[in-house]
Amino acid sequence: MALRAREQQKQYTAEDVYQLSLQGLHYELLQGELIEVAPTKQTHGAVTGEILRQVANFVRERKLGAVYAAETGFVSSTGDVLAPEMSFTVKGHIEPEKEGFTTVAPDLAVEIFSPNNKRVEIQEKVEAYFAAGVRQVWIVYARSRTVYVYSAADKVVIRRQDDLIEGADVLPGFTLKVSDIFSVLDE
Protein backbone atom coordinates (compact mmCIF):
# COMPACT_ATOMS: atom_id res chain seq x y z
CA MET A 1 0.00 0.00 0.00
CA ALA A 2 1.32 3.49 0.69
CA LEU A 3 3.83 5.42 2.75
CA ARG A 4 3.07 9.00 3.64
CA ALA A 5 5.56 11.61 2.51
CA ARG A 6 5.87 13.26 5.94
CA GLU A 7 8.05 16.27 5.20
CA GLN A 8 5.56 18.30 3.19
CA GLN A 9 4.53 21.89 3.37
CA LYS A 10 2.82 22.40 0.02
CA GLN A 11 -0.81 21.44 -0.49
CA TYR A 12 -0.73 19.24 -3.58
CA THR A 13 -3.44 18.89 -6.22
CA ALA A 14 -4.69 16.12 -8.49
CA GLU A 15 -2.85 17.81 -11.37
CA ASP A 16 0.40 17.63 -9.38
CA VAL A 17 -0.13 13.89 -8.85
CA TYR A 18 -0.85 13.40 -12.55
CA GLN A 19 2.31 15.29 -13.54
CA LEU A 20 4.34 13.17 -11.10
CA SER A 21 2.86 10.02 -12.67
CA LEU A 22 4.13 11.16 -16.07
CA GLN A 23 7.61 11.13 -14.52
CA GLY A 24 7.12 7.54 -13.32
CA LEU A 25 6.47 8.57 -9.71
CA HIS A 26 3.46 6.99 -8.03
CA TYR A 27 1.45 8.83 -5.39
CA GLU A 28 -2.03 9.10 -4.01
CA LEU A 29 -3.37 12.34 -2.62
CA LEU A 30 -5.41 12.49 0.56
CA GLN A 31 -6.49 15.86 1.98
CA GLY A 32 -3.71 17.64 0.08
CA GLU A 33 -1.01 15.28 1.37
CA LEU A 34 1.04 13.11 -0.96
CA ILE A 35 1.15 9.41 -0.14
CA GLU A 36 3.88 7.48 -1.91
CA VAL A 37 2.68 4.24 -3.48
CA ALA A 38 5.61 1.90 -2.94
CA PRO A 39 6.27 -1.51 -4.52
CA THR A 40 4.83 -4.38 -2.50
CA LYS A 41 6.02 -7.76 -1.29
CA GLN A 42 5.05 -11.13 -2.79
CA THR A 43 2.22 -11.87 -0.33
CA HIS A 44 0.59 -8.53 -1.09
CA GLY A 45 0.86 -9.10 -4.84
CA ALA A 46 -0.37 -12.70 -4.70
CA VAL A 47 -3.43 -11.82 -2.63
CA THR A 48 -4.23 -8.84 -4.87
CA GLY A 49 -3.83 -11.02 -7.96
CA GLU A 50 -6.17 -13.69 -6.63
CA ILE A 51 -8.91 -11.20 -5.75
CA LEU A 52 -8.52 -9.52 -9.14
CA ARG A 53 -8.74 -12.90 -10.91
CA GLN A 54 -11.87 -13.96 -9.05
CA VAL A 55 -13.68 -10.65 -9.53
CA ALA A 56 -12.55 -10.20 -13.15
CA ASN A 57 -13.74 -13.68 -14.15
CA PHE A 58 -17.17 -13.01 -12.62
CA VAL A 59 -17.44 -9.56 -14.23
CA ARG A 60 -16.25 -10.69 -17.66
CA GLU A 61 -18.64 -13.65 -17.84
CA ARG A 62 -21.58 -11.35 -17.11
CA LYS A 63 -20.32 -8.25 -18.96
CA LEU A 64 -20.94 -6.14 -15.85
CA GLY A 65 -18.27 -3.47 -16.32
CA ALA A 66 -14.52 -3.04 -15.91
CA VAL A 67 -12.03 -4.38 -13.38
CA TYR A 68 -8.88 -2.32 -12.87
CA ALA A 69 -5.51 -3.43 -11.56
CA ALA A 70 -3.37 -1.76 -8.95
CA GLU A 71 -2.74 1.95 -8.98
CA THR A 72 -5.48 2.94 -11.45
CA GLY A 73 -6.15 6.43 -10.15
CA PHE A 74 -9.33 8.42 -9.86
CA VAL A 75 -9.98 11.93 -8.61
CA SER A 76 -12.77 12.47 -6.10
CA SER A 77 -14.96 15.54 -5.91
CA THR A 78 -12.87 16.65 -2.90
CA GLY A 79 -9.68 16.57 -5.00
CA ASP A 80 -8.28 13.38 -3.46
CA VAL A 81 -6.51 11.01 -5.86
CA LEU A 82 -7.03 7.41 -4.83
CA ALA A 83 -5.58 4.28 -6.40
CA PRO A 84 -6.90 1.04 -4.89
CA GLU A 85 -5.06 -2.23 -5.42
CA MET A 86 -8.08 -3.45 -7.37
CA SER A 87 -11.32 -1.80 -8.36
CA PHE A 88 -14.50 -2.49 -10.27
CA THR A 89 -16.71 0.00 -12.08
CA VAL A 90 -20.21 -0.88 -13.28
CA LYS A 91 -20.57 -0.65 -17.07
CA GLY A 92 -22.90 2.37 -16.98
CA HIS A 93 -20.47 4.34 -14.79
CA ILE A 94 -17.33 3.98 -16.91
CA GLU A 95 -15.92 7.28 -18.13
CA PRO A 96 -14.22 7.39 -21.56
CA GLU A 97 -10.41 7.56 -21.43
CA LYS A 98 -9.11 11.13 -21.28
CA GLU A 99 -6.04 13.09 -20.26
CA GLY A 100 -5.41 12.74 -16.53
CA PHE A 101 -7.18 10.48 -14.08
CA THR A 102 -10.85 9.54 -14.29
CA THR A 103 -13.26 11.48 -12.12
CA VAL A 104 -15.63 8.53 -11.76
CA ALA A 105 -15.26 6.59 -8.53
CA PRO A 106 -15.27 2.83 -8.85
CA ASP A 107 -18.19 0.96 -7.36
CA LEU A 108 -15.84 -1.41 -5.47
CA ALA A 109 -12.39 -0.58 -4.10
CA VAL A 110 -10.05 -3.18 -2.61
CA GLU A 111 -7.05 -2.33 -0.44
CA ILE A 112 -4.52 -4.79 0.97
CA PHE A 113 -3.23 -3.85 4.42
CA SER A 114 0.55 -3.52 4.51
CA PRO A 115 2.78 -3.58 7.61
CA ASN A 116 3.68 0.02 6.69
CA ASN A 117 0.06 1.11 7.11
CA LYS A 118 -1.50 2.43 10.27
CA ARG A 119 -5.13 1.63 11.03
CA VAL A 120 -5.97 5.34 11.23
CA GLU A 121 -4.64 5.78 7.66
CA ILE A 122 -6.78 2.90 6.46
CA GLN A 123 -9.85 4.41 8.11
CA GLU A 124 -9.09 7.77 6.46
CA LYS A 125 -8.96 6.02 3.08
CA VAL A 126 -12.21 4.14 3.73
CA GLU A 127 -13.90 7.45 4.55
CA ALA A 128 -12.38 9.07 1.44
CA TYR A 129 -13.63 6.22 -0.76
CA PHE A 130 -17.19 6.58 0.47
CA ALA A 131 -17.05 10.37 0.23
CA ALA A 132 -16.00 9.89 -3.41
CA GLY A 133 -18.98 7.65 -4.17
CA VAL A 134 -17.51 4.15 -3.85
CA ARG A 135 -20.29 1.76 -2.80
CA GLN A 136 -18.27 -1.07 -1.25
CA VAL A 137 -14.71 -1.27 0.13
CA TRP A 138 -12.77 -4.38 1.08
CA ILE A 139 -9.75 -4.07 3.36
CA VAL A 140 -7.76 -7.30 3.22
CA TYR A 141 -5.47 -8.37 6.06
CA ALA A 142 -3.19 -11.17 4.82
CA ARG A 143 -1.50 -11.78 8.17
CA SER A 144 -4.78 -12.58 9.97
CA ARG A 145 -6.48 -13.83 6.78
CA THR A 146 -9.48 -11.61 7.29
CA VAL A 147 -11.38 -9.21 5.07
CA TYR A 148 -13.25 -6.17 6.34
CA VAL A 149 -16.19 -5.52 4.03
CA TYR A 150 -17.50 -1.96 4.27
CA SER A 151 -20.89 -0.95 2.90
CA ALA A 152 -20.46 2.53 4.42
CA ALA A 153 -17.59 4.26 6.19
CA ASP A 154 -19.05 3.26 9.56
CA LYS A 155 -20.62 -0.06 8.58
CA VAL A 156 -18.27 -3.03 8.41
CA VAL A 157 -18.59 -6.80 8.53
CA ILE A 158 -15.49 -8.86 9.28
CA ARG A 159 -15.12 -12.03 7.22
CA ARG A 160 -12.81 -14.92 8.17
CA GLN A 161 -11.73 -18.31 6.73
CA ASP A 162 -14.96 -20.11 5.74
CA ASP A 163 -17.05 -16.93 5.57
CA LEU A 164 -18.26 -15.60 2.24
CA ILE A 165 -17.73 -12.13 0.89
CA GLU A 166 -20.84 -11.09 -1.02
CA GLY A 167 -20.95 -8.55 -3.81
CA ALA A 168 -24.36 -7.32 -2.59
CA ASP A 169 -25.82 -4.70 -4.95
CA VAL A 170 -22.37 -3.84 -6.36
CA LEU A 171 -21.74 -7.32 -7.81
CA PRO A 172 -25.10 -9.10 -7.54
CA GLY A 173 -24.67 -12.87 -7.19
CA PHE A 174 -20.93 -12.69 -6.53
CA THR A 175 -19.58 -14.65 -3.56
CA LEU A 176 -16.00 -15.41 -2.61
CA LYS A 177 -14.89 -17.64 0.24
CA VAL A 178 -12.24 -15.86 2.31
CA SER A 179 -10.06 -18.97 2.44
CA ASP A 180 -10.02 -19.02 -1.39
CA ILE A 181 -8.35 -15.60 -1.41
CA PHE A 182 -5.53 -16.80 0.81
CA SER A 183 -5.13 -20.27 -0.73
CA VAL A 184 -2.48 -18.79 -3.04
CA LEU A 185 -0.27 -18.32 0.02
CA ASP A 186 -0.39 -22.04 0.80
CA GLU A 187 0.61 -23.31 -2.65
The answer to whether residue 31 sits within a structural domain is no
What is the C-alpha to C-alpha distance for residues 2 and 83, in angstroms, rounded to an integer? 10
Residue 159 is part of a domain; what is its CATH number?
3.90.1570.10
What is the C-alpha to C-alpha distance for residues 182 and 36, in angstroms, rounded to an integer? 26
Provide the domain limits for residue 149: 39-185
The answer to whether residue 2 sits within a structural domain is no
The answer to whether residue 44 sits within a structural domain is yes
**DSSP code of 183?**
G
Domains identified in the chain, total number: 1
Q: What is the pTM of this model?
A: 0.91
Average pLDDT over residues 1-20: 72
Q: What is the per-residue pLDDT across 114-152, written as a single tens digit (0 to 9) for each?
A: 877 888 889 999 999 999 999 999 999 999 999 999 999
Question: Sign of the C-alpha dihedral, residues 151, 155, 161, 163?
Answer: negative
SS3 content of the chain, % helix, strand, coil (to 5): 30, 30, 40
User: Do 28 and 78 form a contact (C-beta atoms < 8 A)?
Assistant: no
What is the C-alpha to C-alpha distance for residues 141 and 144, in angstroms, rounded to an integer? 6
